[in-house]
Amino acid sequence: MSSNRPPIIWRAIAFVTIVCLSLLVLDGWRSWNARAVKLGEMDVATANLSRAMAQQADDTFKEADTALLALAERVEVDGTSPAAMKRLRGILLMSRQQLPQLDGLFVYDANGNWLANTTSTPLNRFNNADREYFIFHKQHRDARVHIGAPIISRSSGNWVIPVSRRIDNGDGSFGGVVLATVKIDFFRQFYDTLQIGNAGAVALVLNNGTMLVRRPFDTKLVGASMQGTELYRHYVALGPVGTAFIKSAQDGVTRLNSYRNLQDYPVFVAAALSKNEILHEWWRDTVWHSAGVLCLVVVVALSGWHLVRQIELRTRTEAELIKTHDSLERLNRTLEMLAMQDGLTGLANRRQFDVTLHDEFSHAMGQGSGLALIMIDVDCFKQYNDTYGHAAGDECLSTISRLIRDLAARRPRDLVARYGGEEIAVLLPETGIEDAVAVAETVRHAIRELGIEHRGSPAGVVTISAGVEARVPARGMDDPTRLIHAADIALYEAKREGRNRVVAARKDAVH
C-alpha cells in the first residue's frame, strides 16, 4: 500500500461515518423542509383568514354607511320638523330590521339632542354632544364616514362601534350627526365560527391603533391602544398587507400573524395562529421519525464496526488486489477524460458537446429557461494552413481555443467544445440572445486584438465569424439539432456578409 494513500481501514471508517452523518443530515433536511412546508401552508391559511375577515368587516361597515348616507341626505333635504322626524323614524326602523349587525340608528341635532332613533328610549333622556364622534364631526367638515372607538351604548347598554356621518345645514354649517351603532357581538359571533385552534387570535383594529374587538374576547381590551405592540408597528411600517411571527402583547403567545387593511375604511384585521399549534404535528412527526433514523444509524454504525473489523483482518491478503483495482480505476478515469477531450485544443470534444447539449436542452425545457449556442469559425483558416503550415495552424487554433474558453466559459455549466476542424461551439445555459451576442462580440474583438498575422485574410490578421441562436425550448416542438441548425445558418450569414462579424439567428430561421 502506497504511503500517500490512507489505509483501507480509515477509508472504511470514513465511509461508515459519512453514511451515518448523511442519514442524520438528510433526516434533518427532510424535517426542516417539512417545517417550511407547514409554515407555508399556514401562511396561506392565515392570509385567507384575514382576507375573509376583511371582507366581512368591509361589508358590515359598508351596509351601515350606506344607510347613514341615505339618512343624512333625507335630513338635509326634508329638515327636522316633527312630521319629517316621524317619517324618518319609520325609515330608521326599517333599516334596523334589514341590518342585523346594527344595535341602533340615531339622528342628533347640532347640540347633540336626540331627534330620532330606533330604540324605545325617550328622546329627551340623553344628550350625546360629549361623544367623540359628535365632537369630531362638529370640528371637521369632512363628509366621509367616521368610525370611532368602541363605546357602551347609552340606550341599550351594549358594547358598540359608532359609525357616523355629519349633517350639514343649507349654508354648510354643522347641522348634527347621523349614527349607526354596530354591535361588537356581531363580530364576536362571526369570529367564534373561525377555526383558529385553542391559542389562535383574531382582531379588528382602527388604523390609529384602537382595538375594536378581539377573540379571545376580553372587555379590558375593547377600546385599548395597540400602538406600542409589535403587530401595530409591523402594520404601520409594512402595511397594508403583511405576515409575520409576532409575540402577542396581550398574552405573550408567539403567533403567525396575517394583517390586512380594509379596502374602504380606516380599519385593519389581524388573523393569528399559534406557532406551537402550527408546529405541533410537525414536532410529533419529527420526534418519531428522528428516533427511527437514530436507531438506523446505530444499526449502520454497528454493522460498519463489524465491517471494519473484517477489513482489518483481510487487509494484508487484499492489498495487492486493491492496488490493482485502484490503478485500473485511475486508468479508466484517464481514458474517460481523454475520450471527452480534444487532444489538440484541450477543449471538450464533439462527443462531450453532444452529451452536454442533450442534457442542457432537456434541463432548459423542463425549467422553461433559455439556452444559447454560439458557433464560431476561424476565417480563412485553410489559407492560413496553406500559408504558414499545419504546425502553425495547430498553434493558432490552440491559442484561439484557450482565449475563447477563458472569455466565454465563466460559469460552471458553460461549455466550450471543438465542434470540428476550425469550428468551435460555445454552449451557454440560462442565457438569452442579447447576452450570447455580447459574449460572441467580446470573443471576436479579443481574437482580433491578438493580432495573429494572416496574409490570406482580408483583415490581415486572424479573425473569427460567429452565429448565435438562443431559445426557450418548447416541449414536443424543439430538439437540439434545431438549435445547432439555426446557429449554423447565422454563422453562414456572418461568412456571407464578409466575415469578422457576429450574426444572430433570425426568429424565422428554424421552426
Q: Using CA atoms, how far apart are residues 74 and 58, in angstroms rounded to an integer? A: 24
Q: Using CA atoms, how far apart are residues 47 and 241, in angstroms rounded to an integer? A: 9
- Which amino acid, residue 71? L
176: left (phi over 0), alpha (psi -120 to 50) or beta: left
From residue 396, how far is each of 7, 52, 420 by CA, in Å?
47, 71, 15
Grid coordinates representing 195?
377555526
Contacts with 252 (C-beta within 8 Å, 6 or more apart), sequence order: none
Three-state DSSP at 367 gives helix
Grid coordinates representing 262?
380594509
Q: Which residue has the cell 387570535?
A: 201
Q: Measured in Å, how far apart are the chain's first and last C-alpha atoms?
A: 60
Q: Using CA atoms, how far apart are residues 254 and 400, in angstroms rounded to an integer? A: 63
Q: Using CA atoms, how far apart are residues 287 and 284, in angstroms rounded to an integer? A: 5
- 507 DSSP 8-state letter: T
Question: Residue 21, Cβ neighbours under 10 Å: how many?
Answer: 11
Contact 149, 213 (CB under 8 A): no
Q: Using CA atoms, how far apart are residues 71 and 50, in angstroms rounded to an integer? A: 31
Dihedral sign, Cα of residue 492, residue 494, residue 498, residue 501: negative
Strand partners, 247: 254
Strand partners, 180: 105, 163
Q: Using CA atoms, how far apart are residues 480 and 361, in angstroms rounded to an integer? A: 6
Residue 422 falls in the annotated catalytic set: yes
Q: Using CA atoms, how far apart are residues 169 and 77, in angstroms rounded to an integer? A: 9
Q: Using CA atoms, how far apart are residues 384 and 462, in angstroms rounded to an integer? A: 8
Q: Which residue has the cell 456571407?
A: 496
Q: Using CA atoms, how far apart are residues 80 and 20, in angstroms rounded to an integer? A: 86
For every residue of 255-279, DSSP letters joined together read EEEEEEE-SSSSEEEEEEEEHHHHT
CA atoms within 13 A on the CB side of 161: 27
Out of 63, 360, 422, 469, pick the active-site residue: 422
Q: Which residue has the cell 359609525?
A: 163
Grid coordinates representing 182?
354596530
Q: Using CA atoms, how far apart are residues 389 and 368, in angstroms rounded to an integer? A: 47
From residue 468, how far is each of 148, 375, 437, 481, 492 by CA, in Å?
67, 6, 6, 14, 11
Q: Which residue has the cell 464578409?
A: 498
Question: Which positions are annotated as active-site residues?
Answer: 422
